[in-house]
Structure 1
Amino acid sequence: MISYAVRRLAAGLVLALLVTAITFFLLSFSFDDVVLSLVGPGATPEILEQRANSLGLDRPVPLQYGEWLLGVVQGDLGVSYFTNEPVGAAAISRLTVTLSIVLFALVATAIIGTALGVMAATRAGAVDRVTQSVSLVGLVVPNLLLAIMLVYVFAIQLGLFPATGFTPLTTDPGRWLASITLPTIVLVIGGVAGIAAQVRGAMIDELRKDYVRTLTTRGLPTRTIVLRYALRGAAGPALTVLSLEFIGMFSGALIIERVFALPGFGTYAFNSSLQGDIPVIMGITLFSVLLVVTVNLVVDLVGGWLNPKARAL
């Protein structure tokens, strides 16, 4: 298992290196525009040249990337061109907001989606049809529309939750939970359908296998067979879909954050992209890739534990 984890981790680090290198190379085409936005449109060529020199943007691109990578190894992601705020600290504070929503939503999605999938697979007929219909709501209703509906009903009309804003957990746990409830519900409704459908299909395949019939003939209760044996066999494909759901939730957090006015990672990435804030964009790229790599590594390890044959792949 250790060598399996090391191989996956090494592949993830190589991916992070490639993605950040390509991103920096593409950003290099906008260096002149970034300098112009910093000094203003009326700046003389001399001022533009001095500003580019002070930022180090007039040096060869491979050298700039190498210096940035060296800073990353030393724990320094640079500072924002526009706010002089350290990129690492700023990104982590915004990432905390986004992950507090996404991780809650992911856990709820896994529990609800698995329950619906198991019910649909084991109870044919009306229960199966109703379960599938409920799970498909998330595919039909766009997240933006769903978020607006929830704000109107539960925040404006009923006043049960705040319509916008975020309260840190350390400030007030109750208000923090209230501030993430509606965004979490939006993500859960959007993600349940994929998990439920995958679990249902995988469970149906598992329940048709010979070992299930053998266990049934030995007199084991159906509940035990489904939850202890068949569900474990069906968990591998479901975990893959769950990792994709996490990536989808994380990348789609911008819409949720804009609707609920949350100071999250998506809003931070959007604003820095509009400004052309190169250190921030690079920091966001690095954090995003490492987060995806970490999630995939965890999924691979859990999948390898559930199915030892996967470790040899």
Structure 2
Amino acid sequence: MYLFIARRLASNVVVFIVVCSAAYSLLFLSGASVALNLLGTDATPEQIVAKEQELGLDQPLLMRLGAWWAKALGGDLGVSWYNGQPVWESIMNRLPMTLALVIASTLATVVVAVLLAGSAAVHRGWPDKTIQVLSTIGSAVPNFLIAIFLVAVFAVQLGWFPAISTISAGAGVGDWVTSLALPVIALTIGSATAVTQQLRNGLLSQMDADYVRTLRSRGTSGLEILTVHVLRNAAPPTLTVLGLQFIGMLGGVVVIEHLFALSGIGSLALTATSTSDTPLVMGIVVYTILVVVIVNLLVDLLNAWLNPKVRTA
């Protein structure tokens, strides 16, 4: 098991280094002038040159990349070129909103997927067909269109939820729940469809296995067979899909946060990109990759616990 964990950690470290280096390089290969974007179109050539020297942009790309890694490995991601605020501070101020949104959506996805897939596997027939149709429709519609529909119906027409976030400093639980309800539903619908389909297929294949017939012949209840045996054996592929959906939500929240005026990492990423704020963009890249690495490692560990064969794969 320790060797398995070491292999996964080593591969994730390689991914982290490669992606961060590639992201940093791509930020400067577009040909656009970062100094001009920061100073505005009224800046003189002398001001642009001075700004490039101040930010170290007159140095070769490899030297700048090496300097960034030297600071990043020491925990220093620099300060924003736009407002002078430390990058880590900017990210940590926005992190609770995004984590609350993504984690709540993931938990809702698990609940919905287990209920729907379990119903399809047990009852089959029209419930199974209905769930497949709904899953196909849900996976085909982008989550931002679902969000717009939810706002139009439940916020504008019915007035049950606010159209934009009411979360502010010192906001209570009620503000968090009402402000995140529609964004969570929008993210959950798209995510739950993929997880439900995967879990449904796994449950159906397990329900027809020989060991299930043996358990039934011994008088084991259907609920125990489903929850203790079948669900455990069908879980590993589903966990992989769930991990991918979690990672996908990190990208999906960019649009969702903008639609609902949520002050999270997604809206911060839009601002940093539009202002050519390279240190802040790289800070968000580091945060995103760390989340991806942690999620992938947790999925691998859970799969190894559920299926020991994974450890030697």
Matched, 1:151 2:143: no
Q: What SS is found at the alignment partner of 2:220?
A: coil
Structure 1 292/170 Cα, relative in aligned 2: closer, same or farther at 3 Å? farther
Q: What SS is found at the alignment partner of 2:227?
A: helix
Q: Name the residue aligned to 1:283.
A: 283
- Maintained 8 Å contact 2:195/2:238: yes
Find the aligned partners of 1:211 and 1:30 in 2 and give their Cα distance: 58
Which sections of structure 2, spanning at least 5 residues, go unmatched?
none
Deviation at residue 286 of structure 1 after TM alignment: 1.0
Q: Name the residue aligned to 2:298.
A: 298
Q: Name the residue aligned to 2:129.
A: 129
- Maintained 8 Å contact 2:38/2:276: no
Matched AA of 2:63? L
Q: Name the residue aligned to 1:73.
A: 73
Q: Name the residue aligned to 2:200.
A: 200
Q: Name the residue aligned to 1:227.
A: 227
What does residue range 1-313 of structure 1 map to in structure 2 within 5 Å?
A: 1-30=1-30, 33-167=33-167, 171-313=171-313
Deviation at residue 224 of structure 1 after TM alignment: 0.9
Q: What is the root-mean-square deviation of aligned Cα atoms in Å?
A: 1.8
- Maintained 8 Å contact 1:31/1:57: no
Aligned length: 313
Bigger CA drift: 129-138 or 243-252? 129-138
Structure 1 32/209 Cα, relative in aligned 2: closer, same or farther at 3 Å? closer
- Maintained 8 Å contact 1:166/1:263: no
Matched AA of 1:299? V
- Maintained 8 Å contact 1:199/1:238: yes
Which sections of structure 1, spanning at least 5 residues, go unmatched?
none
Deviation at residue 43 of structure 1 after TM alignment: 3.6
Bigger CA drift: 81-90 or 129-138? 129-138
Deviation at residue 66 of structure 1 after TM alignment: 1.8
- Maintained 8 Å contact 1:166/1:180: no
Structure 1 67/225 Cα, relative in aligned 2: closer, same or farther at 3 Å? same
Matched AA of 1:19? V
Bigger CA drift: 177-186 or 262-271? 262-271
Find the aligned partners of 1:166 and 1:257 in 2 and give their Cα distance: 13
- Maintained 8 Å contact 1:169/1:176: no
- Maintained 8 Å contact 1:272/1:281: yes
Find the aligned partners of 1:26 and 1:191 in 2 and give their Cα distance: 30
- Maintained 8 Å contact 1:95/1:265: yes
Find the aligned partners of 2:41 and 2:181 in 1 and give their Cα distance: 44
- Maintained 8 Å contact 1:81/1:278: yes
Find the aligned partners of 1:42 and 1:230 in 2 and give their Cα distance: 66
Dislocated runs of 4+, deviation >6 Å: none
Cα deviations across residues 116-158 of structure 1 (Å, max 9, x unaligned)? 1121112121222223233334224332222112112222222
Instruction: Calculate the TM-score normalised by the size of structure 1.
Output: 0.94
Find the aligned partners of 2:90 and 2:72 in 1 and give their Cα distance: 15
- Maintained 8 Å contact 1:98/1:253: yes
Cα deviations across residues 91-117 of structure 1 (Å, max 9, x unaligned)? 222232112111101111011112211
Structure 1 7/169 Cα, relative in aligned 2: closer, same or farther at 3 Å? farther
- Maintained 8 Å contact 2:94/2:263: yes
Matched AA of 2:57? L
- Maintained 8 Å contact 2:38/2:275: no
Cα deviations across residues 25-61 of structure 1 (Å, max 9, x unaligned)? 2222357611122233344443322211111111222
Cα deviations across residues 217-243 of structure 1 (Å, max 9, x unaligned)? 222112111110011000001101101
Cα deviations across residues 227-274 of structure 1 (Å, max 9, x unaligned)? 100110000011011011112211111221121111221121122112
The share of aligned pairs that are identical, in percent, is 41
Deviation at residue 180 of structure 1 after TM alignment: 0.6
Deviation at residue 170 of structure 1 after TM alignment: 5.1
Instruction: Calculate the TM-score normalised by the size of structure 2.
Output: 0.94
Bigger CA drift: 71-80 or 162-171? 162-171
Matched AA of 1:101? L
